[in-house]
């Protein structure tokens, strides 16, 4: 489909409600067109992991304007299937990337960054206190959710 709006109209026909109920999810999938304005933009979100990511951002369900709860993953899978005819894995996309020399270049870390084992207990605690899991971040106020006006439920 050419535009996220058409995906949203398709969702409304499939599950009821209005196109606006689904627009944020479909906009999110096609947002990568800002960076790559051809089919390659789909490699970033149009795959199974992208469908699960949409669920993390928008919640497990959305409630459309008819009051029906619709699983977010259904909407995500609909979008990907309409664009690609199937739901590929991320590996299906990435295995077609032609490796370039610059992609594998790494720099050595400074000695103090590599020597985690020699840190004191206090230093370990400081490092560990700064670690957050993705799930913990999602449970807190998520700017992605508010940026899309998300009212989904977990």
pTM: 0.70
- Inside any domain, residue 47: yes
Q: Please write the tens of the pLDDT for every residue from 81-106.
A: 999 999 999 999 999 999 888 888 88
Residue 108 makes CB contacts below 8 A (sequence gap 6+) with none
pLDDT at residue number 34: 92
- Inside any domain, residue 127: no
Using pLDDT thresholds of 50, 70 and 90, give the confidence band for residue 56. very high
- Inside any domain, residue 153: no
- Inside any domain, residue 84: yes
Using pLDDT thresholds of 50, 70 and 90, give the confidence band for residue 26. very high
- Inside any domain, residue 140: no
Note whether 26 and 58 are within 8 A (CB). no
pLDDT at residue number 140: 55
How many domains are there within the chain?
A: 1
pLDDT at residue number 79: 97
- Inside any domain, residue 113: no
Note whether 84 and 51 are within 8 A (CB). no
Q: Which residue has the higher pLDDT, 36 or 135?
A: 36
Distance of CA 55 to CAs 76, 77, 132, 154, Å? Answer: 8, 11, 19, 9
Averaged confidence pLDDT in the chain: 83
- Inside any domain, residue 150: no
- Inside any domain, residue 114: no
Question: What letter does residue 85 receive in the DSSP assignment?
Answer: S
The CA radius of gyration of the chain, in Å to the nearest whole number, is 20
pLDDT at residue number 116: 57
pLDDT at residue number 31: 95
Structural domain containing residue 92 = 4-101
């Amino acid at each position: 489909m050419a535009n996220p709006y058409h995906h949203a109209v398709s969702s409304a026909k499939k599950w009821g409600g209005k196109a606006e109920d689904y627009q944020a999810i479909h906009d999110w999938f096609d947002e990568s067109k800002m960076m790559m304005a051809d089919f390659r933009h789909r490699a970033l979100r149009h795959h199974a992991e992208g469908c699960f990511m949409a669920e993390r951002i928008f919640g497990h369900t959305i409630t459309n304007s008819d009051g029906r709860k619709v699983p977010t993953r259904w909407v995500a899978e609909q979008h990907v299937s309409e664009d690609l005819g199937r739901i590929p894995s991320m590996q299906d996309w990435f295995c077609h990337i032609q490796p370039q020399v610059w992609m594998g270049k790494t720099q050595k870390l400074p000695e103090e960054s590599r020597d985690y084992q020699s840190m004191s207990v206090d230093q370990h605690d400081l490092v560990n206190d700064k670690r957050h899991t993705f799930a913990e971040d999602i449970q807190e106020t998520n700017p992605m959710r508010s940026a899309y006006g998300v009212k989904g439920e977990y």
